[in-house]
Structure 1
Amino acid sequence: MLKGKTILLGITGGIAAYKAASLCSKLVQKGAKVHVIMTASAKQFITELTLQSLSKQRVFSDTFQERDPSSISHIDLADSADLVLIAPATANIIAKMAHGIADDMLSTVLLAATSTVMVAPAMNVNMYQHPAVQNNLNILAERGIQFIEPGEGLLACGYVGKGRMEEPETIVSCVEAFFERNDKANTGKLAGKKVVITAGGTVERIDPVRYISNDSSGKMGFALARAAKEMGAEVTLVAARTDEQPPRDINVIRVQSADEMYGAVSAVWEDCDILIKAAAVSDYRPKERADTKIKKSGSTMTLELVKTVDILETLGQRKNHQLLIGFAAETGNAEMYAKDKLVRKNLDLIVANDVSVPGAVFGADTNIVSIYDPKGLVEELPLLSKDEVARRVLSVAAERLPEEGL
């Protein structure tokens, strides 16, 4: 998967820089051409000669050390990259990336790079949890930067917690998975397939000016629709109330209530191959809807609610060839609730996220999710843009579709 790929490996000044030697070696062994860029601080932990010997390539660290007068090194490096990988990534380089600072070779290359950038943070647990660092990580995630979440355990500083750079073997696996997902041969994984996606929050009217709804921007559903189309699928998007306009060039069915969404989904259910229910559907609706605005009277108001149709459970009972995928937005114990929902509603996959965690809140451009099937955890994704989460969810789904003719 890495043969013929050019990877820029940025190494910054943390004790985890020693792991970069093993990482570089493993990437080269997999067939990648690795150009190493070191910061001045990184060279306090590991030498250029070590990385040059392992990469079999010149190591870069000085923006002004131009050895070829016919080219500009930081631009050539940026243009050559299929992937930029920063490992370890200190709080300093993360801040520079977030705010566009270019004061050394690595940060200058990062501003010029147009390829995907993947970051493996490494720092003290308190530094990692600092609001400034978390804000910078969110800024980068919203721009599409991909992250390899740090592990938890004993850190070099003596603290125990989250902040340890992932092991080289895990990082290499993440790099391989990235190229597998983005290989041109995979763009047609859903060619000829019909994919139905629900998005947004349903609206249950109390009267003409008031309603019950759920928090949902529709962004995750829209990202899934874009990703499915990119992979060659014929996409139908059933959208309730959303904060943004849906993607262009996609068949959109607009609905308001849970009943309307159920009717729209039922109409396309039999003919679809994959249905992903990313919408936040109201569990209850007012038993009676007033035709005119209810006037204020008294200090309290009683509103009787009745259950709406459980669309996901109903489809789970009716499915035959379809792949049915649900979402579980929780505020704690996400794994337990997601697994229970998957079994109760006869789903093939469920995507769980804790919406109380920074980066995974409603309306954000990022998400942190775990994907489960009836056997357990399929994949745990770090903080990623919703577009990247969508691509990964659909890649997992595509792998589970029956082969043609079977």
Structure 2
Amino acid sequence: MNPYENAIKQFEEVAKRLHIEEWIINRLKKPERELAVNFSLRLDSGDIINVSGYRVQHCSVLGPTKGGIRYHQDVSLDEVRALSMWMTWKCSVCDLPYGGAKGGVCIDPKKLSKTETERLTREFTRKIADFIGPEKDIPAPDVYTNAQVMDWMQDEYSKIVGKDVKAIVTGKSIANGGIVGRETATGRGGFFVLQRFLERTGNKAERVAVQGFGNAGRNMAKFLADAGFKIVAVSDSKGGCFKAEGLNIEELIAWKMQNGSVVGFESTEKISNAELLELDVDVLVLAALENQIRKENADKIRAKVIVELANGPITKEADGILFERGIEVLPDIIANSGGVIVSYFEWLQNLSNTKWNAEKVDSELKEKITSAFDKVFDLARLNGSSLRNAAYEVAIRRVVDSLRKKFKQS
């Protein structure tokens, strides 16, 4: 099943439970607006290649649309459609004044030089400039895009409209109107969600395994270690390391920076990604790729709580197995929403021409994500459902209620 069909199926299941009208279901199954672009790019060698790109706005009923732009050779229109729909639900569950959007350019970013990436970014920005705007559609970084790419986009858009528009994108460098804490926001948000879950349930947790040691996984591991949790295992794309007494995360970060992987970290036992998933721990943080826990290995998971810091790391079939086994899953739609929440703060900062300090960003993030989690947790316990089902119900209900009000007979 392709990602867009999967996103539609997920939405239809919730819509059926909520008895949503047919016209609303059909409206929300399709994006409001789609833009497909095709352009040529001159490489440093002088050769010219043709490139395809997309920007999809799923739903603007709650406000301007928001979502990242990714550079990847496997980008497709259906993938971007699915991601834009998921962004609608993520913004909604966090009570943000946004709908969902997503963008992508079909190219292998690892084959591009820095100057080629800049030319690509500026040309793509020119192609979508009429489609985006600070109160229309606000892009952000995603897979293989970063603050530098956002700075180029912001600069090019500002040239096109003839004035400096900081709020056109988020995830910019601090020097160019970015916000402190954006780099650590996803890991910080995941930490706050886990912390709140443990407070609400009264559960105790000490031993943690983290799959994925990129930006999100690395930062969450650091926040957990600083809070007194024992990180016993960490992995990246090349493998993992295990130490029953707990890993020194600061030293492990330095080791990975120097050696390119966590594998071989001193005084640790080498383990595979698959073995890490099945460790006997209190908390398993999934911060790598999608579909890591499937029906084939769901019955081998021994963690009591799973935090989905990555998008879609648990398949639908596995999700049902974990729920039946009593393993709590803190779903991606809320657990990894720290990034979009802090992006919202950056947007507010730019629109009001103010600067937020680190303390304000941290306290506002904690309040926003904790409040969102509480609504989800309360509904899940009321319905006896999983936290994922409750999160989608909260998100979809808010969008649907807004649509109903707009079309209410006077």
Structure with higher RCO (Cα < 8 A, 6+ apart):
2
TM-score, with normalisation over the residues of structure 1? 0.28
TM-score, with normalisation over the residues of structure 2? 0.28
Q: Give the helix-richer structure, 1 or 2.
A: 2
